[in-house]
Amino acid sequence: MIPDLSWVLGHSKTSFHHSNDAIKLKTNSGDSVSLADLVKETTPPCQLNPLLFNGHLQTFYTVVKSSDVPVVYKRKLFESENPNYPGTFAVDFVHRIPSEDPDTSLPPRTTYFTDQEFGEVGSDDSKPLLVTLHGLSGGSHEIYLRHVLGPLTSELGWEACVVNSRGCAMSKITTSIMYNARATWDVRQVVNWLRKKFPNRPLYGIGFSLGANILTNYLGEEGENCQLKAAVVCSNPWNLEVASWGLRKSWLGLEVYQRFMGNNMKKLFERHADQISKNPDIDPEKIRKIKYLYEFDRALQCPAWGYPTEAAYYRDASSCDSLLAIRIPLLAINAEDDPISVQDAIPYGEFGLNPYTVLCATAMGGHLSWFQSNGERWFAKAAVAFLDKIAKDIDLDANKPAPSQNGNGDASEGKRPVYEPMRRKWHIPKEHAA
């Protein structure tokens, strides 16, 4: 047998996983195309840097300074409208004009809207607008995110914003409530606000890593009522319990990835310790002693949200089941050699059941990496091509989503058991709900 040496040339095999009955999308010209065929048409060949021939090398390369993608932002602090999750959160809007007076309290190229500027926000134009969610402890400044936002907003005429998780991107936490892997409430508020301020703009979504998990959960919770037209999720960990154990099984996974992510979250806690520590169920000293991400989740996320163990938190916050309830076109991009969002956690079977979803899986690429020889990232090209094709060539108003179906049918068929993918375990008891 001739060995597969495609990696020597940097060529990564690409496979597509989807329902045999993928939805048909009507084009502006009156034709129709299946979602699966549209994804295959817009996905470029995955040609990567041959020197970065496995997931670890690809992922490690993210710490190497690469070519910059300048994106300018204007920030607005929003007050949560949901009384169950009080506090403020920061949203950064892509802005075309750099500020002449940099704000050192914010990430590079980011300044606050003045009250007058923000009062003038709003438009009746029909430009596509992308709502973006970053990865664990990241923010709008992350380069992987700007690889997508840069070309969309500077070359293709899109608008975009980034919903920063509470405390991230140099934002402040104003209550004891941080964020977790199923924290969909802030993005829901932003989408509703955008819908009012820009009534004619089609809204789209993209999420990266943990942000991909949150976005997938949001899409599932919204179902056929989702106000986004389509979405992309990159390097989603999908099943958080499987991903966590996958990392803990090897020295590299535990001592490099788990420790690195744990340290980042511990630093995030320290920046906001005064506010977070107001929660009487949280012991700051336990958090300061942790080494790994799963220990952080055990010490902070579990008492903050009432989970008995980090495994219970992971199972409840995972987005693999949410995938079944999505009713807008979704492209998921995962690398099968991703050392963080491990292949064992990818819900291949669920992609085969939901006609609104397509998984593009590459044999190589690492975590939010997919570096090509010129320093660019392949996944950004795939995401941008898909989103722009959907926005400019597809008549999504003619593709009304069907009512959400349960995995085992509709409850109205009788009293037989049904599977409801969004029947979440964590909830706010009625006597405590605002």
Rounded Cα distance, 418 and 405, in Å:
10
Catalytically annotated residue among 140, 338, 388, 404: 338
Q: What is the dihedral of CA 165, 155, 64, 106, to 10 degrees?
A: -40
Q: Decide if pLDDT at 64 tops 90.
A: no
pTM of the model: 0.95
Q: Decide if pLDDT at 303 tops 90.
A: yes
111 and 131 belong to one structural domain: yes
Known catalytic membership, residue 125:
no
196 and 219 belong to one structural domain: yes
333 and 294 belong to one structural domain: no
196 and 342 belong to one structural domain: yes
pLDDT confidence of residue 426:
85
pLDDT confidence of residue 415:
65
Give the mean pLDDT of 410-414.
49
Name the band, by pLDDT with cuts 50, 70 and 90, for residue 340.
very high
Name the band, by pLDDT with cuts 50, 70 and 90, for residue 418.
confident
State the chain's mean pLDDT as an integer. Answer: 93
CB atoms within 10 A of CB 197: 12
The answer to whether residue 423 sits within a structural domain is: no
pLDDT tens for each residue of 9-19: 789 999 999 99
pLDDT confidence of residue 399:
72
The answer to whether residue 434 sits within a structural domain is: no
The answer to whether residue 425 sits within a structural domain is: no
Name the band, by pLDDT with cuts 50, 70 and 90, for residue 386.
very high
pLDDT confidence of residue 212:
98
pLDDT confidence of residue 383:
98
Catalytically annotated residue among 18, 95, 134, 367: 367
pLDDT confidence of residue 3:
39
Name the band, by pLDDT with cuts 50, 70 and 90, for residue 67.
confident
Known catalytic membership, residue 338:
yes
The answer to whether residue 9 sits within a structural domain is: no
The answer to whether residue 66 sits within a structural domain is: yes
Give the mean pLDDT of 266-279.
96
pLDDT confidence of residue 414:
55
153 and 271 belong to one structural domain: no
pLDDT tens for each residue of 142-177: 999 999 999 999 999 999 999 999 999 999 999 998
191 and 282 belong to one structural domain: no
248 and 293 belong to one structural domain: yes
Domain that holds residue 302: 242-307
Catalytically annotated residue among 19, 171, 209, 341: 209
Q: What is each CA distance from 140 to 67, 74, 144, 193, 264, in whole angstroms?
A: 17, 11, 10, 19, 16
Per the document, the length of the chain is: 434
Q: Decide if pLDDT at 410 tops 50.
A: no
pLDDT confidence of residue 308:
97
pLDDT confidence of residue 1:
39
Which of the listed residues 257, 286, 307 is the one where a domain comes to its end? 307
124 and 215 belong to one structural domain: yes
225 and 246 belong to one structural domain: no
101 and 179 belong to one structural domain: yes
Using CB atoms within 10 Å of the CB of residue 332, give its burial: 0 to 12 exposed, 13 to 18 middle, 19+ buried.
Answer: buried
Known catalytic membership, residue 141:
no
Q: What percent of the chain has pLDDT over 70?
A: 94
CB atoms within 10 A of CB 74: 20
pLDDT tens for each residue of 90-138: 999 999 888 889 999 999 999 999 999 999 999 999 999 999 999 999 9
Name the band, by pLDDT with cuts 50, 70 and 90, for residue 407.
very low
The answer to whether residue 401 sits within a structural domain is: yes
The answer to whether residue 313 sits within a structural domain is: no
The answer to whether residue 430 sits within a structural domain is: no
Give the mean pLDDT of 26-51.
97
Give the mean pLDDT of 49-64.
94
Q: Decide if pLDDT at 63 tops 90.
A: no
